Structure 1
Amino acid sequence: MPESKSRKKASRPAPAKTVSTPKENPVWYKPVMFGLMILGLLWIITYYVTQGQYPVPSFGGRNILVGFGIAILGFLMTPRWR
């Protein structure tokens, strides 16, 4: 049985892979993130332990919202943490 002639393919250089490395976060990012989470927790604990006299007595029950708001700011920073 006769063999067919093989075709020579023109050699092409392999395309350069563009791998982008994620940028590192600034040095202050992680301490601020965890600091906000802990500060919010401490705010709420202080409110409960002192029976509403601290941290801000005029806020009353809204101290809970302030504590959760501070903690949520810390949690919102976590998706960008690398």
Structure 2
Amino acid sequence: MPKSRIRKKADYTPPPEKKAATELDFSSGGRRWVAPLMLLMFGLGLAWIVVFYVTEGSLPIDPLGNWNIVVGFGFIAAGFVVSTQWK
């Protein structure tokens, strides 16, 4: 019985990747603004709540009353939202 020929398959080479001209590349540290903004939001929220308690409710915005606490926690929550962008 004759031996069958062994077929050699050509090695696969993927085509070169093409980048679009409008594509933005943030992998090289383009988000340096995230950490300072995150810390600023945390600090601002904490300071808002502390000022509210120290001044017995007359500052930062008197007409808001106890809603000043919600505003302070809103700044802190915004800091957490910004922190999701940190790489």
TM-score by length of 1: 0.72
Kept after mapping to 1: 8 A contact 2:34/2:83: no
Count residues in correspondence. 81
1:23/1:44 Cα in 2 relative to 1: closer, same or farther (>3 Å)? same
Q: Which of the pair is proportionally richer in helix?
A: 1
**Mapped partners of 2:48, 2:72: distance in 1:** 5
Where structure 1 has 5 or more consecutive residues not aligned to the other structure, the ranges are none
Aligned equivalent of 2:29: 24
Aligned equivalent of 2:57: 52
- % same residue: 38
SS of 1:70's equivalent in the other structure is helix
RMSD, aligned CA: 2.7
Kept after mapping to 2: 8 A contact 1:30/1:81: yes
TM-score by length of 2: 0.69
